[in-house]
Structure 1
């Protein structure tokens, strides 16, 4: 008896685990950062402190970068079921992370340039005031980092409610070029409620921004205290250069990781590719074409083309891959070979 058409349908919601929770945390950090920013700029103008004003505007750059993160979460959630997005909106977080990493790299360049200028042309420093600003900024950054930590207490979810593993294959026609089977949620007939969470690069980008700010605050405190005791005015801009190099390194790592995901490079899914080949390829079956790519945090899609002289229904091969963590969208093609 043919299956009802509605049973064959499936959605493409590949948002990361804890998407809404992370979104709320980012908005909270933005509010915290913006409040501190306004307070610093206002107090700086009121008391004539250039250090306060400068730090306030510096925080505004990180608040702006985190706004990219928050808006990406919001848009991805609201458009998750929009059919315009062929594989859902799961990769919007990686796009936002990439953009945010570019901003982080620019901040590193600005800090480095300003530090070089200060190194060449030292200026008088109001140590007590500057240290107080750095300590206040560090406190805000540590609270923000705690809120944005990517903890592992929240795992992925089961796809049992919206997948149709096995059903597709049973009613699929045979074609000249082979059998095809298309599946979403290959965990459906197994009790694998916990799956690979995957890296949420959108959250990671926001976390790196507050950690970069915290790093500059720590280095500034060390440099200012040492300079106030020993008179080493050159230590402050030198620490600025060190901080800029570390932040640039962080930003490059995030740019590379998100960039590979955005262009569907295999680097991000090499392990999953190897597992698929290990489970499918036997003496009688050979994978002739394999495409694996990430469609969201903890969600991967795969197209597997198999050539065999003893063909089985696509569901047979999908059963072999059903236990693979993070494989959320699977298409199988079987091409019979002459015996």
Structure 2
């Protein structure tokens, strides 16, 4: 019967942010700004009978919805951070929010293209002064939003604070028939590491996909305002009314490209795509060191912004303990949930490697 207090070995299941991040706070501010501006434009359009104001207000509403989804993703991930039912935490909610935002961005691009083609086929009379005023006002609001969500200043708030000061290794010394037809002693050691706050040592290229989604939405709106001003001035001063739908098509193509890039990035996270080659290469090089160890199986995948779950298997003539190999891992990569499997395989390194 065990008399030792098991609490020292129990896993703390608090994954994720312990408080709102800068990204969440700024996205909330931008969402509120967008919603207020949308309400003002819609009200103005209804009161003054301006279709330009009403159309732009409804357009802003689509981005307010996307920003609201981004805020909801942040809040859900934070409030569910301690829920042990999420095996690797709620970090992927961030990518899910970004993926949803990317889909909405694609819809927005399609609507831009459709409306532009409609304007080509069925030109409408443009009230230039009013339309330019609306576009300039929208540019000011969107410019402030872009500055608030600037990606150069985003942070990695995915906090994994669960530490276990122990190693649980299991040795199964037995004969194992290897695929190459050799018999060797298979010392099967597992060690699972639940590092404390790996997000603070996050990979420098880590990206908050949810914040990027919000950023791209306001950037797309800013682009729309800029191209609209350019086209409207060309139409008013030079009579080039075809510039308006042309700029709409150009803008829709650029927004579609942004959407596709974000869809690719977020889908890789959601589908447990392997980490970038440089991350895996650093893990492999650190574990193998200068000894005879060879990493034969390596999995590194994202479980949140700047946090990578890691599982690896290695063979060596005289292997060290799993804890020794964990100690070799780079401290600046944000590795978490590290599992190390060690095999003793005398004389067979060449065939295994």
TM-score (norm 1): 0.90
Q: Deviations over 1:39-96 (max 9, x none)?
A: 1011111111100000000000000011110111111001011111110000101011
Q: Distance in 2 between matches of 1:255 and 1:179?
A: 39
The 3-state SS of whatever aligns with 1:215 is helix
Q: CA deviation at 1:283?
A: 4.8
Mapped contact 2:202–2:307 kept (Cα < 8 A): no
Query: Where does residue 181 of structure 1 map in the other structure?
Result: 191
The gaps in structure 1 that reach 5 residues or longer are: none
- Pair 1:187–1:239, CA change in 2 (3 A): closer
Say if 2:202 is the partner of 1:195.
yes
Residue of structure 1 aligned with 2:293, choices 285, 288, 305 = 285
Residue of structure 1 aligned with 2:255, choices 223, 226, 247 = 247
Q: CA deviation at 1:311?
A: 1.4
The 3-state SS of whatever aligns with 1:175 is coil
The 3-state SS of whatever aligns with 1:82 is coil
Q: Deviations over 1:125-147 (max 9, x none)?
A: 00000000001111111111122
Q: Distance in 2 between matches of 1:218 and 1:162?
A: 48
Task: Please report the RMSD computed on the Cα atoms of aligned residues, expressed in angstroms.
Answer: 2.4
Q: Distance in 1 between matches of 2:62 and 2:110?
A: 13
The 3-state SS of whatever aligns with 2:236 is helix
The gaps in structure 2 that reach 5 residues or longer are: 174-185, 348-353
- Pair 1:30–1:152, CA change in 2 (3 A): closer
Mapped contact 2:31–2:64 kept (Cα < 8 A): yes
- Pair 1:45–1:243, CA change in 2 (3 A): same
Query: Where does residue 45 of structure 1 map in the other structure?
Result: 46
Q: CA deviation at 1:156?
A: 6.7
Residue of structure 2 aligned with 1:337, choices 322, 345, 350 = 345
Residue of structure 2 aligned with 1:308, choices 300, 307, 316 = 316
Of 321-330 and 136-145, deviating more is 321-330
- Pair 1:104–1:42, CA change in 2 (3 A): same
The 3-state SS of whatever aligns with 1:122 is coil
Query: Where does residue 112 of structure 1 map in the other structure?
Result: 113
Q: Deviations over 1:200-242 (max 9, x none)?
A: 0001100100000000000000000111001111000000000
The 3-state SS of whatever aligns with 1:291 is strand
Residue of structure 1 aligned with 2:166, choices 165, 168, 179 = 168
Q: CA deviation at 1:272?
A: 1.2
- Pair 1:303–1:116, CA change in 2 (3 A): same
Say if 2:322 is the partner of 1:321.
no
Q: Distance in 1 between matches of 2:4 and 2:152?
A: 42
Q: Distance in 1 between matches of 2:233 and 2:158?
A: 49
Q: Distance in 2 between matches of 1:193 and 1:249?
A: 32
Query: Where does residue 61 of structure 1 map in the other structure?
Result: 62
Query: Where does residue 229 of structure 2 map in the other structure?
Result: 221
- Pair 1:107–1:156, CA change in 2 (3 A): closer
Mapped contact 1:13–1:89 kept (Cα < 8 A): no
